[in-house]
């Protein structure tokens, strides 16, 4: 043990001496990234028997990055409304030549359908607060422990989560009072067109509205589950959510239809406190190798595990952001992933941007 410590201390000594020998100017320029620790280096001094005793003297110690969040380099955004078509042209060319496109999508692609996101003004959490459901905080509505103890607050709100009943952009409450299904957004249709053109490798969606399925996108990974089906907490019976929609619309707790069960039904979305499963891991292992273009659409990448997906793709795969606001990517220094930088950031409404891209690509979006 003493021998190992001695070797480490000798390395520190040689490093400090090399800095000192470079000269005052070079040493001062290097000192911007150096912490000075008066007890960090030992000077070896031979004794009469030829061994070494170590005496502590001041040394310049190199700063080691901590295992905290590292922010990516600042890069200017491209506001699509203010820029010329050359920026769109670059994205158009990438999409045109790519054959294995991966899309990572969030609530921003469904907002134009009249489905609110979670955190913005007028979003799900603000609606929960207005309804006074007797919850400590709005997020508890999606906590599995709260749901198991008392599913009533969730089912009082649940009818607002499901794709409404109007093709207009009216509020969720208005949509639920009508009898027409919500249509997928233009962004959904663009992704569906990519799949039909055999250019889509996969869609990773954080959304639970199931509009990817309505749009006909088959190669979809629902990272947070989907409202399309539900399962009984007691007998695990899985059913199409349409079969319990009468109870959901009435604000009643949906129960299992099996006569010998009558357990509480839970939509197959990932609640806080639940495991997201292995499906994401299995898919990303394949897609991270095959992808030749990554589109990050309508998401701020704040919620795991989706927030970690961009760093799993090789750095040579171009990554494009298409979102209403800029996104500050983060990387955990504790893993071996590379620092992610968007090749292009198109800031604006997703549907408007994809409408222009569809025109350039001559895609007819049905």
Catalytic residues, by residue number, are 224
Residue labelled with tokens 């990773």: 204
**Count of residues in the chain:** 366
CB 173 within 8 A of CB 156: no
Q: CB-based contacts of 226: which residues, under 8 Å, 6+ apart?
A: 208, 210, 213, 268, 269
Chain centroid to CA 138:
21
Peptide bond into 347 cis (omega under 30): no
CB 160 within 8 A of CB 172: yes
Q: What is the DSSP letter of 276?
A: -
First to last CA, the chain: 72
- 186 membership: H or E segment, kind and range: helix 186-196
β-strands 319-323, 293-297 pairing: parallel
Q: CB-based contacts of 163: which residues, under 8 Å, 6+ apart?
A: 113, 115, 181, 182, 209, 210, 211, 214, 227
Rg from Cα positions in the chain? 28
């Amino acid at each position: 043990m003493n021998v190992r410590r001695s070797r480490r201390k000798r390395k520190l000594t040689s490093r400090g001496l090399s800095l000192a020998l470079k000269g005052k100017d070079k040493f001062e320029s290097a000192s911007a990234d150096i912490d000075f620790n008066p007890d960090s280096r030992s000077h070896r001094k031979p004794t009469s028997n030829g061994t070494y005793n170590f005496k502590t003297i001041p040394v310049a110690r190199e700063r080691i990055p901590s295992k905290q969040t590292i922010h990516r380099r600042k890069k200017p955004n491209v506001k699509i409304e203010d820029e010329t078509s050359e920026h769109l042209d670059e994205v158009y060319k990438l999409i045109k030549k790519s054959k294995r496109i991966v899309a990572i999508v969030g609530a921003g692609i469904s907002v134009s359908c009249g489905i609110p996101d979670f955190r913005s003004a007028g979003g799900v959490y603000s609606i929960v607060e207005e309804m006074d459901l007797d919850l400590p905080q709005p997020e508890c509505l999606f906590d599995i422990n709260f749901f198991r103890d008392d599913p009533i607050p969730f089912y009082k709100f649940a009818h607002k989560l499901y794709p409404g009943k109007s093709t207009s952009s009216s509020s969720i409450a208005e949509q639920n009072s009508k009898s027409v299904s919500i249509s997928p957004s233009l962004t959904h249709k663009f992704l569906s067109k990519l799949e039909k053109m055999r250019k889509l490798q996969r869609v990773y969606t954080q959304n639970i509205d199931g509009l990817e399925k309505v749009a006909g996108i088959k190669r979809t990974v629902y990272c947070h589950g989907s409202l399309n089906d539900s399962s009984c907490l007691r007998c695990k019976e899985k059913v199409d959510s349409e079969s319990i929609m009468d109870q959901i619309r009435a604000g009643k707790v949906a129960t299992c239809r099996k006569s010998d069960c009558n357990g509480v039904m839970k939509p197959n979305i990932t609640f806080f406190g639940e495991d997201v499963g292995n499906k994401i891991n299995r898919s990303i292992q394949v897609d991270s190798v095959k992808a030749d273009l990554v589109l990050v659409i309508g998401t701020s990448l704040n919620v795991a595990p989706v927030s970690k997906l961009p760093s799993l793709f090789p750095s040579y795969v171009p990554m494009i952001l298409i979102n209403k606001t800029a996104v500050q990517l983060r990387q955990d220094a504790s893993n071996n992933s590379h620092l992610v930088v968007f090749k292009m950031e198109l800031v604006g409404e997703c549907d408007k941007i994809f409408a222009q891209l569809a025109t350039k690509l001559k895609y007819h979006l049905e």
